[in-house]
Amino acid sequence: MTRIQKLNRRSFLKVSALAGGGMILSFNWLAGCKPKDLETLGDPKEWFRVNGFIQIGENGLITIMSPNPEGGQNVKTSMPLLVAEELDADWENVVVQQAPLDTDNFTRQFIGGSQAIRTSWIPLRTAGATARHLLVHAAAQTWNVPSSEIKTNAGFLTHDGSGKKAHYGEMASLAASLPIPEEVQLKEISEFKLIGKSHRNVDIQKIITGKPLFGIDYKKPGMKYAMIIHPQAFGQKLKSFDAEEAKAMPGILDIFQIKSLQDDYTRTFFDTTQFTDLIAIVGDSTWEVLNAKKAVKAEWKLMEAYTEIRDMFGRPGKREVPSGLESTSSQEKLINQAMQSPTLIRRDGNPEQAFAQASQVIERSYTAPFLVHNCMEPMNFFADVQGDEVNCAGPLQKPELTEQALSARLGIPVENINIEMTRLGGGYGRRSYAHWLIEAAVISQKTKHPIKLVYTREDDMTAGIYRSRYQATYRAALDSDKNLIAFHVNAGGLPENPLYANRFPAGAVKNYLAEGWEVPSNVTTGSFRAPRSNFMASVEQSFLDEVAEAAGKDPIDFRLELLKKAKENPVGESNDYDPERFAGVLNLAKSKSNWGSEQAGISRGFSAYFCHNSYAAQILDLKMENGNPVIHKVINAIDCGLVINPDAAKNLCEGAVVDGIGTAMYGEQTFENGEPQKKNFDTYRMIRMKEAPKLIETHFVENNLDPSGLGEPAYPPVFAALANALYQATGQRIYEQPFEKHLNSG
């Protein structure tokens, strides 16, 4: 059924107001959707701004703004595609432009939670449908025919009765002056021409020819290069430094101490950084700054414990930051203490009694280390603070929140701050914590030069904002008929508790207990692709494999039976998954993999998880060679609702699989007296081509449900698919990540 989208006057005006062309700085972000002959129609003489998202040239060329930062999730293609669909534009005559941070015109301009498409599904289509409505009415007025008789297709308006035809550019001037309708009709799914078909990345031509796209590529006349020196260890602060020799080195402008965030500043969730006292080195070129950086002699002192005052999305919060130099081994002792006295999070039935009466209890503990995001583009930002005008450009995930922190730090109102969003050379959560933008701006304010701050790989890997260190103990109780009668999870982390107590198998087990704990730490942590889920799925799905085996059941059938219970007789009321959709991906994976008729010599592992509103099931096939797994094939079965851009969606799922296997096998940051031990890719092992699966197949459940997240959901389960396949191959269960430690020489 066609949806009538009522336009909320207030919110729509927000969308339709002028985007303020003055905010688009020197970079030319235009990207043609038809890569080979870019901008087929040539540049128009005049642009008509129909609303905040759409400009139409008099020659019919259409510019669609992509509101959100692009870091490889392909939103710069898929979000404008939603607008173009309802506009009935010719995609080959659309150019996509990256919007700057513009809170007057756009909402939710950030990367996080796999929510871009889900939350923009209606608003972006409405923007396109409104523009189409205005064009149709402009044509109706011009031709003096009823608007209901006008058809649109691929950027053209036609009226069959009179034989009139015009491209959008011819009607754009009048359309832009017409009143905004009260409501517009959105297309039915069966009417989609662009959505559901594969369209190439709009930036591909620039990527393959090495054009400046990323923050680190950004340049301005007079720009100087800067780097920082931060404490070598968590728990340390800057005591003093001697930069006499370094200051005299060629190309060095200045070396000085900066304060990024003030101690009394109320931080938002994404203002995490422990190293606020830094040494800044400014010079004419990266190489000269790098050399001077090595010549600075810094002394560090122990930091005292403190309480960080926080604003947790409008609620007051705080973070207790202990003193001390933590080591991987000392953290382990604290974790083992904390898990002895967890906090109750969910309890169904009588789990204590069920465990006491069980015929068999299976208990397993799992651990996972700190992880580094390791975006290939090291942290960097451009900032130019001149008086009370601030222009910034670079890669970041949460520009609006960072702008607030920057405003507070510089004492300059947000109205005077422009943040241009460049393409991100990876994000995965790391670029949500944009302390480097504040640092760049503070350095620019002091030196009065436009500044490009770049972290070395070592800075990037040792400055914090890691994935937390986690641990969980699971217990399952089976009765004498090997039915699962009770389930218990006790999970926590240093410093973050990863538990999602209302996820599967909650709701499917009569007696259920979920408990959690946290250990304060001065190591800074933050969101990491599929936050918390990336640990919970990795261990829970491994544990369920073991429980299914103890119950004498096939691992998929075992889960299907539980999902059937959750659907027919759910336990509790706040289960946050749809058992039917969950079972759907299990069945899809089963049918696509010829489950049950494995090839000789191939070991298979199964895993499935629900997060970010989407469902993912995976089957991983491997063979052991010289003690190491060679992964032959991974099958993804995904339910993320309607798929917008299928080939790009598959790419994202393939990447999630490779990323998950790499993290499970090799990912780990360790500490010795507060000092991160892995500082570059010679010691922090990343997955490489040889270790990637030979083949990855991705299948989507075909449905017409509203689209949901895809950047994250395929990532968490693959850890366990690998663990379960390794067990099939070796007979050994692995309870500690990274797995590599327990294979081959480990």
Partner 1 sequence: MATYNLNINGKNLQVDVDPNTPMLWVLRDHLDMVGTKFGCGIAQCGACTIHLDGNAVRSCQLPVSAVTDAQITTIEGLSEKGDHPVQKAWIEHDVPQCGYCQAGQMMTAAALLKSNPSPSDEEIENAMNGNICRCGTYTRIKAAVKTASQNQ
- Contact residues toward partner 1 (CB under 8 A) are 35, 71-74, 198, 200-201, 203-205, 207-214, 216-217, 219, 225, 250, 285-288, 374-378, 423-428, 454, 456-457, 647-648, 651-652, 654-659, 662, 680-682, 686-690, 692-696
Strands of 388-434 (E only): list them: 389-394, 417-421
- Sign of torsion over alpha carbons 516, 520, 521, 525: positive
Residues 503 and 612: their CA atoms lie apart, in Å, by 12
Q: Phi, psi (5° rounding) for residue 203?
A: -100, 5
| Nearer of residues 516 and 531 to partner 1, judged by Cβ | 531
Q: Give the torsion through C-alpha atoms of 321, 327, 329, 333, to 10 deg.
A: -20
| Nearer of residues 52 and 427 to partner 1, judged by Cβ | 427
| Nearer of residues 128 and 427 to partner 1, judged by Cβ | 427
Please state the closest distance from residue 664 (CB atom) to partner 1, in A: 13
CA atoms within 13 A on the CB side of 564: 7
Please state the closest distance from residue 217 (CB atom) to partner 1, in A: 4
**Tokens 């075909």 label which residue?**
702
Strands of 410-483 (E only): list them: 417-421, 451-454, 469-478
Residues 97 and 68: their CA atoms lie apart, in Å, by 11
Please state the closest distance from residue 663 (CB atom) to partner 1, in A: 10
| Nearer of residues 547 and 648 to partner 1, judged by Cβ | 648
Please state the closest distance from residue 395 (CB atom) to partner 1, in A: 9
Please state the closest distance from residue 738 (CB atom) to partner 1, in A: 16
How many C-beta neighbours within 10 Å does residue 146 have? 10
Apex CA 385: angle with CA 383 and CA 391, to 5°?
Answer: 55
Please state the closest distance from residue 719 (CB atom) to partner 1, in A: 14
| Nearer of residues 151 and 694 to partner 1, judged by Cβ | 694
Please state the closest distance from residue 648 (CB atom) to partner 1, in A: 7
Please state the closest distance from residue 561 (CB atom) to partner 1, in A: 33
Residues 649 and 73: their CA atoms lie apart, in Å, by 9
Residues 638 and 114: their CA atoms lie apart, in Å, by 14
Please state the closest distance from residue 376 (CB atom) to partner 1, in A: 4
Angle between helices 9-16 and 116-143 (to 10 degrees): 80
How many C-beta neighbours within 10 Å does residue 42 have? 9
| Nearer of residues 296 and 686 to partner 1, judged by Cβ | 686
| Nearer of residues 76 and 398 to partner 1, judged by Cβ | 76
| Nearer of residues 373 and 488 to partner 1, judged by Cβ | 373
Please state the closest distance from residue 731 (CB atom) to partner 1, in A: 28
Please state the closest distance from residue 452 (CB atom) to partner 1, in A: 10
Residues in CB range of 111: below 8 A, 6 or more apart: 68, 69, 71, 73, 75, 397, 398, 424, 427, 431, 432, 711
Residues 476 and 488: their CA atoms lie apart, in Å, by 6
| Nearer of residues 509 and 722 to partner 1, judged by Cβ | 722
| Nearer of residues 145 and 687 to partner 1, judged by Cβ | 687
Residues 200 and 45: their CA atoms lie apart, in Å, by 28
Residue 660: closest CA among 371, 432, 464, 462? 371
| 147 and 137 Cβ atoms separated by less than 8 Å | yes
| Nearer of residues 485 and 648 to partner 1, judged by Cβ | 648
> Could you say which DSSP state residue 235 is in?
T
Is the N-terminal amide bond of 495 cis, ω within 30° of 0? yes
Please state the closest distance from residue 646 (CB atom) to partner 1, in A: 11
Show the 3-state SS of 473-491. EEEEEECCCCCEEEEEEEE
Please state the closest distance from residue 733 (CB atom) to partner 1, in A: 26
| Nearer of residues 37 and 573 to partner 1, judged by Cβ | 37
Q: Is 562 helix (H, G, I), strand (E, B) or coil?
A: helix
| Nearer of residues 9 and 688 to partner 1, judged by Cβ | 688
Distance of CA 98 to the CA centre of its chain: 18
**DSSP letter string over 36-92?**
TTSSTT---S-EEEEETTEEEETTS-EEEEE-S--SSS-HHHHHHHHHHHHHT--GG
Long-range CB contact pairs, 202-211, < 8 A, 24+: 202/31, 202/32, 202/33, 202/76, 202/77, 202/80, 202/96, 203/31, 203/70, 203/76, 203/423, 204/35, 205/31, 205/32, 205/35, 205/36, 205/38, 206/31
Residues 712 and 117: their CA atoms lie apart, in Å, by 13
Please state the closest distance from residue 403 (CB atom) to partner 1, in A: 23
| Nearer of residues 375 and 637 to partner 1, judged by Cβ | 375
Please state the closest distance from residue 291 (CB atom) to partner 1, in A: 8
| Nearer of residues 136 and 631 to partner 1, judged by Cβ | 631
